[in-house]
């Protein structure tokens, strides 16, 4: 396989192999500008490829959660099957459009025509404000030019994005790809003339737009903290409907609650909106964040102090009522890991390690510095290997992490909690967030004895391919394995030789 898109096959390459070839092909097919922008927005290394969910799930989910927005995927059938399956598993309750292809339609350009026909058929203004078309790995690598789609059809906006696994490292950052593309579209609409007013009316106070998906109560709590300063909480980006994008851009400042939204921040920057990093999580975080917001709006020290007096003390009081006693390692790919780690430390926990699959940004610097000053090692773009090594080295009372980390922890008798389902789905902000984690975490730590009993009960039943109850010894056949390995080595050598042609 060389870098020529003509040589791409419709299937057979993907996140499991061939990222270099796909990237070379995408560059040869004219996608260098997109990939260079990804490299700037989402710097890679050492973790440079998806180790979990397909990244496109992030942008797909953002589109599926918006009212009156249709989504169309263009990619290998196996990728689309997986993505739609997971979307429905998470309750999408909406159809995902798919334009299938084969090697011929891919290399002759017919796939692009099929996509164009599909959006023309779908573009019904009674049903949709916008249709999002996403190129997955193979169509991106073969240069399917979504930018050549019409900007709008019958008043329905058409937004085309490339979300390849070889350019966008995590599903969190893929949310930013779509949020950024939509903000860019909405910004140009605003520049061109009057746009729709927000459905809920315009706030009489200057607003703060919030970046990052949060627990539904968090924006309200942030609103309460802003009120004494004469400010109001604006929309949360990613938005839930198109016209919210206009009010998001119409803010006085942006709070980068999740700090990895590089493309979205670029749009706010171009709209002249100041950006405040970190988030009002924990007493120190509330104090720091409120003063950052005060600076962004040029407020007087007294106004900021009024808000701080009301909410720093309340957060401290809530923290003192719900303590966490134990050592915790924490890792995840949602982008809010540093905030959660700060809250755990302020709640009394010892947190020696935090790994996030997202990249470090200027907006997360204060969190990193705070954590490091409190004895915590912070690893951005952490790999699964980093997370497992930290857990094995620390032997914590609780490991919070992704599925493989939690599985590994439990196998070794260490209590584990899934970050995405159990931790990131709780309020974190201000006084309401202060006590929200303690109950679930203390219960998990207290489960250690039960876990030890289970581990010793299952001791000796084997692991991995020898797991289970055997009447005799497992039939291991190392000769089959060696033979199969030889085949794989031969294939790898042939692929290498092909590359050099």
296 binds ligand SF4, rule: CB under 6 A: no
Tell me: does residue 15 bind ligand SF4 (CB under 6 A): yes
Q: Which residues of 232-270 are buried (b: 16+ CB within 10 A; e: fewer)?
A: bbbbbbbbebbbbbbbbbbbbbbbbbbbbbbbbbbbbee
Edge-to-edge, what's the strand order for the sheet holding 327-332?
377-380, 350-356, 327-332, 398-401, 416-418
> What are phi and psi for residue 457, nearest 5 degrees?
-60, -40
DSSP label of 196: P
Among 106, 133, 136, 172, binds ligand SF4 (CB under 6 A): 136
Q: Pick the binder of ligand SF4 from 3, 5, 14, 167 (CB under 6 A).
A: 14
For residue 337, give the 3-state DSSP assignment.
helix
Which residue lies nearer to ligand SF4 by CB, 98 or 215?
A: 98
Q: Are strands 156-162 and 152-153 parallel, antiparallel or unpaired?
A: antiparallel
Q: Does 75 bind ligand SF4 (CB under 6 A)?
A: yes
Q: Which stretch binds ligand SF4 (CB under 6 A): 72-80, 354-362, 366-374, 479-487?
A: 72-80
Torsion of CA 399, 405, 409, 411, to 10 degrees: 160
CA-nearest of 241, 233, 189, 195 to 214 is 233
According to DSSP, the residues that pair with 398 across neighbouring strands are 328
CA distance 493 to 274: 53
Does the protein bind ligand SF4 through residue 219 (CB under 6 A)? Answer: no
Compare residues 31 and 408 and give the one whose CB is closer to ligand SF4: 31
The piece of 75-83, 98-106, 352-360, 431-439 that touches ligand SF4 (CB under 6 A) is 75-83
Q: Within positions 21 to 50, which residues make up the interface with ligand SF4, using CB under 6 A?
A: 50
Closest residue to ligand SF4, based on beta-carbon distance? 165
Among 44, 54, 48, CA closest to 15: 54
Write the interaction track for ligand SF4 spanning residues 164-183; mark x where CB under 6 A is met and - where it is not: -x------------------
Q: Is 329 helix (H, G, I), strand (E, B) or coil?
A: strand
Find the binder of ligand SF4 among 64, 123, 132, 137 (CB under 6 A).
Answer: 137
Nearer to ligand SF4, 15 or 248 (CB): 15
Which strand (E) or helix (H) includes residue 384?
helix 384-394
Nearest residue (CB) to ligand SF4, 52 versus 322:
52
Instruction: Tell me the number of residues near ligand SF4 by CB under 6 A.
Output: 12
Find the shortest distance in angstroms from Cβ 73 to ligand SF4. Answer: 9
> Counting Cβ atoms within 10 Å, is residue 7 exposed (0-12), middle (13-18) or buried (19+)?
middle
CB closer to ligand SF4 out of 139 and 335: 139
From candidates 8, 54, 122, 304, binder to ligand SF4 by CB under 6 A: 54
* Least distance (Å) between residue 199 CB and ligand SF4: 34
Site for ligand SF4 contains 139 (CB under 6 A): no
Closer Cβ to ligand SF4, 86 or 314, answer by number? 86
Considering only the stretches 3-11, 76-84, 119-127, 402-410, report the one whose residues sit in contact with ligand SF4 under the rule CB under 6 A: 76-84
Orientation of helix 365-373 relative to helix 282-297, angle to 10°: 150
Q: 10 or 349, CB closer to ligand SF4?
A: 10
Cβ neighbors of 61 (< 8 A, separation 6 or more) are: 87, 90, 92, 171, 175
Q: Measured from the CB atom, is 17 or 301 closer to ligand SF4? A: 17
Where on the chain is the footprint of ligand SF4 (CB under 6 A)? 14-15, 50, 54, 56, 75-76, 79, 82, 136-137, 165
């Amino acid at each position: 396989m060389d870098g020529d898109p003509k040589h791409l096959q419709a299937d057979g390459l993907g996140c499991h192999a061939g990222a270099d070839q796909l990237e070379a092909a995408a560059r040869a097919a004219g996608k260098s500008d997109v990939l260079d922008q990804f490299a700037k927005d989402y710097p890679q290394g050492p973790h440079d490829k998806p180790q979990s969910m397909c990244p496109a799930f992030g942008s797909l989910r953002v589109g599926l959660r918006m009212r009156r927005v249709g989504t169309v995927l263009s990619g290998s059938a196996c990728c689309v099957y997986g993505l739609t399956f997971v979307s429905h598993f998470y309750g999408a309750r909406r159809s995902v459009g798919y334009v299938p292809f084969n090697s011929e339609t891919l290399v002759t350009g017919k796939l692009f025509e099929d996509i164009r026909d599909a959006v023309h058929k779908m573009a019904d203004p009674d049903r949709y404000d916008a249709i999002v078309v996403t190129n997955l790995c193979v169509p991106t690598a073969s240069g399917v030019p979504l930018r050549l789609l019409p900007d709008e059809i019958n008043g329905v906006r058409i937004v085309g994005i490339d979300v390849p696994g070889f350019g966008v490292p995590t599903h969190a950052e893929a949310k930013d790809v779509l949020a950024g593309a939509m903000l860019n579209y909405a910004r140009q609409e605003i520049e061109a003339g009057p746009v729709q007013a927000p459905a809920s009316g315009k706030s009489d106070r200057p607003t703060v737009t919030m970046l990052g998906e949060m627990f539904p109560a968090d924006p309200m709590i942030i609103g309460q903290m802003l009120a004494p300063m004469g400010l109001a909480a604006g929309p949360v980006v990613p938005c839930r409907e198109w016209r919210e994008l206009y009010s998001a851009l119409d803010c006085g400042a942006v709070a980068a609650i999740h700090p990895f939204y590089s493309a979205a921040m670029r749009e706010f920057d171009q709209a002249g909106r100041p950006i405040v990093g970190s988030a009002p999580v924990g007493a120190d975080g509330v104090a720091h964040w409120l003063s950052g917001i005060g600076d962004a709006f040029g407020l007087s020290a007294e106004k900021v102090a009024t808000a701080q007096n009301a909410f720093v003390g309340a957060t401290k009081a809530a923290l003192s009522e719900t303590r966490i006693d134990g050592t915790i390692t924490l890792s995840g790919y949602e982008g809010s890991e540093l905030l959660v780690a700060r809250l755990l430390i302020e709640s009394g926990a010892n947190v020696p390690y935090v790994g996030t699959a997202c990249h470090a940004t200027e907006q997360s610097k204060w969190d990193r510095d705070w954590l490091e000053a409190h004895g915590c090692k912070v690893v951005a773009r952490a790999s699964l290997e980093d997370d497992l090594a930290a857990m094995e080295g620390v032997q914590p009372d609780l490991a919070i992490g992704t599925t493989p980390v939690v599985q590994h922890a439990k196998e070794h008798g260490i209590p584990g909690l899934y970050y995405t389902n159990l931790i990131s789905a709780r309020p974190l902000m201000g006084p309401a967030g202060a006590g929200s984690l303690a109950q679930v975490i203390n219960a998990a730590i207290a489960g250690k004895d039960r876990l030890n009993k289970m581990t010793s009960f299952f001791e000796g039943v084997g692991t991995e391919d020898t797991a289970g109850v055997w009447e005799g010894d497992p039939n291991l056949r190392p000769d089959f394995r060696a033979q199969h390995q030889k085949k794989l080595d031969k294939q790898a050598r042939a692929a290498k030789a092909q590359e050099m042609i």
